Amino acid sequence: MSSVVDVRRDGDIAVVTIDNPPVNALGHAVRSGLHAAMRELRDDASVKAVVLAGAGRTFPAGADITEFGNPLQPPGLGEVIEQIEAMPKPVIAALHGTPLGGGFELALGCHWRVAAKGTRPGLPEVKLGILPGAGGTQRLPRLIGPVEALPIIVGGEPIPAERALQLGAIDEIAEGDVIEAAIAFARRVLAEKRPIVRVSEREDKIAAARADRSAFEAAAAEATARTRGLEAPVACAKAVGFAIDLPFAEGLKREHALFLDLVKSDQSKAQRHLFFAEREAAKVADMPKDTKPRPVVRAAVIGAGTMGGGISMCFANAGIPVTIVDATEEALQRGLGTIEKNYGISVSRGRMSADDLTARMGLISGTTDMTAVADADIIIEAVFEEMEVKRDIFGRLDRIAKPSAVLATNTSYLDVNEIARATGRPGSVLGMHFFSPANVMKLLEIVRGKATEPEVLATAIDVARKLKKVPVVVGVCFGFVGNRMLRARSLESERLLLEGASPAQVDRALTDFGFPMGPFAMIDLAGLDIGWRIRKAMGPTADGGPAPIADQLCEMGRFGQKTGRGFYIYEKGARGGTPDPEVAALIERTAADMGIVRREISDEEIVERLIYPMISEGAKILDEGIAQRPGDIDIVWVNGYGFPVRLGGPMHWADTVGLAHIRDRLRHWAQFNPALQPAPLLERLADEGRGFASLRTGRDKAA
Ligand code: 3H9
């Protein structure tokens, strides 16, 4: 018997259990184990029905992604599923956990599906740049209807068991143990002599779409309207169309052909890289294996401003009570008011119920009395960026907080070690750098100080997961990973203006590249005054280097969207900004004053000069150990700054482009600006013909 597929008997019912931790992925051993077990059970006359289940935390969560890219070892998953569907005796899937991708496809090949409470089935393949390639795009539409199947396949989000039941994707939600419930279901099927239901033979749910495709077409257009250059969502919709237009066997063939094309594509490689990189980014190589996070049942946030408010919302959303402390009653009330208003918007858009709003506001309390944080397990400081203010706060927290509390700062560039030294317990201090708006953005840079204890780090990572963030552990330096690389980009973006580009051209080159927003639209949104104040306080190289245009705009009171003017003009009610001739004239004048002769600049040059320096900075960050792996940098940029997912992040993309090419182009630009000299690590890897991926310490899973 296979070591990953167990068969036991319960009277005349056979229970087949897949046991391949951690998520019962359907790798070669599982597929061949299933294949052999099903053949035996088919031929065993004493077996009247079969229950198929997963051991441990879930029914299979999909094909084994680590096998992608290597030649397939038979039997293929599609073959195993067809074999199960063809069984002459009832096969009932007993689902629990997250039956995803190939796991859900396996369940669709069974004749009935019983699910435990809380099961979340789905077809998330699209997020890996592929489509369900083991019959999912052909069976799900036949089971629940193509219009209903479409968003599940194109969107990739798992659905709650209740919704799956409503749609007919599952047949029963079990009250108690799901395997027992599935066995009882099988006995009922046998007693009632119910005919076996093979989804591939069902036509009833696709008949309407066959007669009139218009509802499906409209749903497909809506589902693929905002795909940002991704191929997989379009292929998913196309494959669902095959279910309507083609006989099952033909549709299956076409689905598989699309799957094979996608799995080879650069986009899918990039997305699979991001899948594994996201899981690795929170792992700390030198953390002792037995490190346990401390329990966090109560949180506190210092500062009721935009960041503090957003962070507090994250805790309330996760069901963790949070106390906000601000110096004045007025600031506190304003902050609490903003939070309530933000939740109100969610309610009015139907994303949240009024009861939820009451419940979440009930978890948030405010005070001007710092001693209220005494019982908090984690305290996050989110006041403005001034070292002295932060040191003062941490000194006070040190006297008030309980000994086991984690003390975190949300600074975006200040020295976490220096902040830690303001306390008598630097081991309890670290950075938790949220991105704005904190209640929306997924990224969380967890900044490990020199003294941060492993347990404290583990607690921050655990809290990040509870807040549904994507944590990336980074080291201390100016701007950490994200803002330090952004700085390399900002430095060049103003130079491009002076040399001949317009803000609109620079922004368009980057949105064409795949960013949701260009650098100047982004500064206008964030406010030009932030960088201006930093440059004034810390010298012109502090924030993105000298910025003569931005500085002059600020002196004119043009702080961006909030003042209606920045690099662009913002008319009331208009969505984006429009170019401003006054800004164009200012740029020309400044260039002339600086003796710069303006010239035609190509979009290609813009991309090279904005993104290659970021990559070079990324190489320095790796060399210094600020980031542990190139994939960590990719996760920061994809989740915090909108780097296009289809390119897999800056470091992965750099490998695709080729490091030798990037080195050569940076050397070329360095003739005009020595700061663009390629980083030593980039030089070395390029000389050796290697990519950043070769630096990975873990096994190269996503290859
Ligand atoms: C597919 O099915 C294609 C078919 O349509 C067609 C075939 C022909 N394979 O996320 P976690 C690892 S495509 C290999 O930390 P959680 C993961 O790397 C697949 N490994 O746990 C991690 O390893 P490590 C469609 C996998 O509880 C460990 O398991 N399915 C796979 O937060 C724990 O994972 C999907 O896209 C896999 N399929 O979340 C589902 N899945 O410990 C992908 C996980 O070494 N998986 N691992 O870092 C998920 O979404 C989440 O892992 C899941 C659990 C929700 C299941």
Closest CA to 7 of 29, 31, 38, 32: 38
Ligand 1 centre distance from Cα of residue 118 (Å): 18
Q: To the nearest 5 percent, what fractions of the chain are helix, strand and coil?
A: 50, 10, 35
412 alpha carbon, distance to own chain's centre: 20
Ligand 1 centre distance from Cα of residue 23 (Å): 7
206 lines ligand 1 (CB under 6 A): no
What would the pLDDT profile of 172-215 be if each residue is shown by its tens digit? Answer: 999 999 999 999 999 999 999 999 999 999 999 999 999 999 99
Residue 224 in contact with residue 232, Cβ under 8 Å?
A: no
Residue ranges, CATH 3.90.226.10, the chain? 5-266
* pLDDT of 236 strictly over 90: yes
471 lines ligand 1 (CB under 6 A): no
Ligand 1 centre distance from Cα of residue 197 (Å): 29
Architecture category of domain 5-266 in CATH: Alpha-Beta Complex (3.90)
* pLDDT of 649 strictly over 90: yes
350 lines ligand 1 (CB under 6 A): no
pLDDT of residue 468: 97
Q: State mean pLDDT over 246-263.
A: 97
Is residue 22 reached through a cis peptide bond, with omega within 30 degrees of 0 on the bond before it? yes
Is domain 299-474 classified as CATH 3.40.50.720? yes
Q: Complex ipTM above 0.85?
A: yes
Is residue 71 reached through a cis peptide bond, with omega within 30 degrees of 0 on the bond before it? no
Residue ranges, CATH 3.40.50.720, the chain? 299-474
pLDDT of residue 521: 95
For atom 51 of ligand 1, the residue with the nearest CA is 61
Q: State mean pLDDT over 348-376.
A: 96
Ligand 1 centre distance from Cα of residue 461 (Å): 19
pLDDT-derived band at 629, boundaries 50, 70, 90: very high
Given the residues 40, 82, 85, 105, select the one marked as catalytic. Answer: 105
482-593: CATH topology is: N-(1-d-carboxylethyl)-l-norvaline Dehydrogenase; domain 2 (1.10.1040)
Tokens of 285: 């190589």
pLDDT of residue 460: 98
119 lines ligand 1 (CB under 6 A): no
Residues 311 and 358: their CA atoms lie apart, in Å, by: 18
* pLDDT of 465 strictly over 80: yes
Residue ranges, CATH 1.10.1040.50, the chain? 482-593
Given the residues 40, 67, 79, 125, select the one marked as catalytic. Answer: 125
* pLDDT of 170 strictly over 70: yes
pLDDT of residue 700: 39
pLDDT of residue 703: 36
Residue 431 in contact with residue 408, Cβ under 8 Å?
A: yes
What would the pLDDT profile of 576-596 be if each residue is shown by its tens digit? Answer: 899 999 999 999 999 999 999
pLDDT of residue 226: 85
Residue 153 in contact with residue 162, Cβ under 8 Å?
A: no
Distances (CA, A) of 26 to 18, 114, 122, 272: 9, 20, 15, 17
Q: Is 125 a catalytic residue?
A: yes
Closest ligand 1 atom, residue 100 Cα: 30
Within a 10 A sphere around the Cβ of 563, how many other Cβ atoms? 17
pLDDT-derived band at 698, boundaries 50, 70, 90: very low
Tokens of 119: 């099961």
What proportion of the chain, given as a percentage, has pLDDT over 70? 98
Instruction: Flag whether the pTM goes above 0.80.
Output: yes
β-pair partners for 430: 408
Q: State mean pLDDT over 550-567.
A: 95
Helix (H, G, I), strand (E, B) or coil at 42: helix
With helix as H, strand as E and coil as C, how does 500-558 read?
CCCHHHHHHHHHHHCCCCCHHHHHHHHCHHHHHHHHHHHCCCCCCCCCHHHHHHHHCCC
Burial 393-411 (b: 16+ CB within 10 A, else e): bbebbbebbeeebbbbbbb
For atom 46 of ligand 1, the residue with the nearest CA is 61
Longest Cα separation, the chain: 93
Backbone angles phi, psi at 20, to 5 degrees: -140, 80
Closest CA to 152 of 88, 99, 207: 99
β-pair partners for 431: 409, 447
Within a 10 A sphere around the Cβ of 367, how many other Cβ atoms? 15
Q: State mean pLDDT over 152-180.
A: 97
What would the pLDDT profile of 378-427 be if each residue is shown by its tens digit? Answer: 999 999 888 999 999 999 999 999 999 999 999 998 999 999 999 999 99
